[in-house]
Amino acid sequence: MDIFEKCYTFKKADEAREMGVYPYFHTLQSRQDAEVVMEGKRRIMLGSNNYLGLTTNPEVVEAGIRAFERYGSGCSGSRFLNGTLELHLELEAELADFLGKESVATFSTGFQTNLGIISAIVGHGDYVICDRENHASIYDGCRLSFGKMVRYKHSDMEDLERALQNVPDGAGKLVVTDGVFSMGGDIARLPEITALAKKYRARVLVDDAHGLGVLGEGGRGVPSHFGLEREVDIYMSTFSKSLASLGGYMAADAKITDYVRHNSRPFIFSASMTPACCASALAALRYMRAHPELVARLRELSDYMRSGLAARGVPVMASATPIIPIYTYEFYVTLRKAKELFDAGVYVNPALPPATPPNECLLRTSLMATHTEALLDEAMDIIRTVIADGGE
């Protein structure tokens, strides 16, 4: 059989295009902000991970420009060889200080960070135990490793304990969980996870991509939110969300990060973060540290929108995060509602399998600290019309 046969028989995208509900690759003609111009029309942006709204912050933008002028457009090599700038070391040092960990290692993308950590740490005979709703990069990191992956039911601590009990004696064990789950916006049950890990002599990695800048003291993330900084062995997060850039990092004991730097193929064989990305992430980190009120404002707006949607007859889950899913359940219903919202001036992300379980499709909305109540009221009125009133 021709290896390309699968490409020619793939029809789902064409079917959505023919129905006029294809939801992907909409084109921005403005900055990533609370309001954008997308395909020639103003849209309220409720589909970005720009949680603190720093992608347009003058200090962040200026830092990127200065780095571009000083260091050029790229490093043309990996961190392992010629691609380490003083900027990388400065960013790593300040992140380590902010997070209260001995050391930080940065990667070129967030996805690459999970690939790099897990594939380096989990070796032959080791086990990695994952929440079923973990991010795709965690799954791919497990596949890239030489260990065995075991999944437990989402946030089910009894199932996690069963999984830990079934790991052979003497095997290395790493429990990996999202800190904030990116589709549902719910927070990992970290107190129970760390307690079980301690009981069964496992280590813990938290993917805090959607927790940094959102939860914890000054935005330090989910471990800080629960006061469990010392119980989590490795923090992982990205620069593409609250820190308004591109890249990722791991924070851990110095011996752990040093091992990963020397054994992680995705780290060793990838070009380093560009100077502009590195400088922008560093400026965003400094701005977040200087303005912890941004984190409080984000929580305030999240509470405002949850209560506002409920008052308008749109059911939502209780949570403390700016990710607010609206469940639409069926595949094509979700696509149709996303298109109706887009046409009415509100951009949201349709979440479909495999990002969600079958028949649990949803419209993922997410907030920024730079939204206003007036803007959210406008968006919620449109959502009510499309969702609660059936678009009539």
Encode pLDDT of 76-96 as tens digits. Answer: 999 999 999 999 999 999 999
Burial of 255 (0-12, 13-18, 19+ CB in 10 A): exposed
What pTM does this model have?
0.95
Residue 391 pLDDT greater than 80, yes or no: no
Residue 126 — pLDDT band, cuts 50, 70, 90?
very high
Residue 142 — pLDDT band, cuts 50, 70, 90?
very high
Interhelix angle 254-263/110-121, rounded to 10 degrees, is: 100
User: What does the alpha-carbon distance between residue 345 and residue 106 come to, in Å, rounded to a whole number?
Assistant: 37
Tokens at residue 158, please? 């009894």
In this structure, what DSSP letter does residue 294 have?
Answer: H
Residue 26 pLDDT greater than 90, yes or no: yes
pLDDT in tens, 94-114: 999 999 999 999 999 999 999
Marked catalytic residue, from 173, 241, 337, 371: 241
Active site residue 210: yes
Marked catalytic residue, from 48, 103, 155, 182: 182
Active site residue 198: no
Phi-psi region of 329 (alpha: psi -120 to 50; beta: other; left: phi over 0): left
116 within 8 A of 185, measured Cβ to Cβ: no
Could you give the strand order of the β-sheet that contains 349-351, starting from the edge strand earlier in sequence?
Answer: 323-329, 361-366, 349-351
Count of Cβ atoms closer than 10 Å to residue 31 Cβ: 12
Marked catalytic residue, from 88, 173, 210, 339: 210
Domains of the chain: 10-45+292-388 (3.90.1150.10), 58-290 (3.40.640.10)
Residue 190 pLDDT greater than 60, yes or no: yes
Residue 357 — pLDDT band, cuts 50, 70, 90?
confident
Burial of 361 (0-12, 13-18, 19+ CB in 10 A): buried
Q: Which residue has the higher pLDDT, 169 or 286?
A: 286
Residue 24 — pLDDT band, cuts 50, 70, 90?
very high
Phi/psi for 35 (5° steps) reads -125, 140
The pLDDT of residue 392: 46
Residue 159 pLDDT greater than 60, yes or no: yes
240 within 8 A of 88, measured Cβ to Cβ: no
User: What does the alpha-carbon distance between residue 73 and residue 77 come to, in Å, rounded to a whole number?
Assistant: 12
The pLDDT of residue 264: 97
Active site residue 148: no
The C-alpha R_g of the chain, in whole angstroms, comes to: 21
pLDDT in tens, 280-335: 999 999 999 999 999 999 999 999 999 999 999 999 988 899 999 999 999 999 99
User: What does the alpha-carbon distance between residue 320 and residue 306 come to, in Å, rounded to a whole number?
Assistant: 10
User: What does the alpha-carbon distance between residue 176 and residue 165 come to, in Å, rounded to a whole number?
Assistant: 16
Tokens at residue 363, please? 């419209």
Count of Cβ atoms closer than 10 Å to residue 54 Cβ: 29
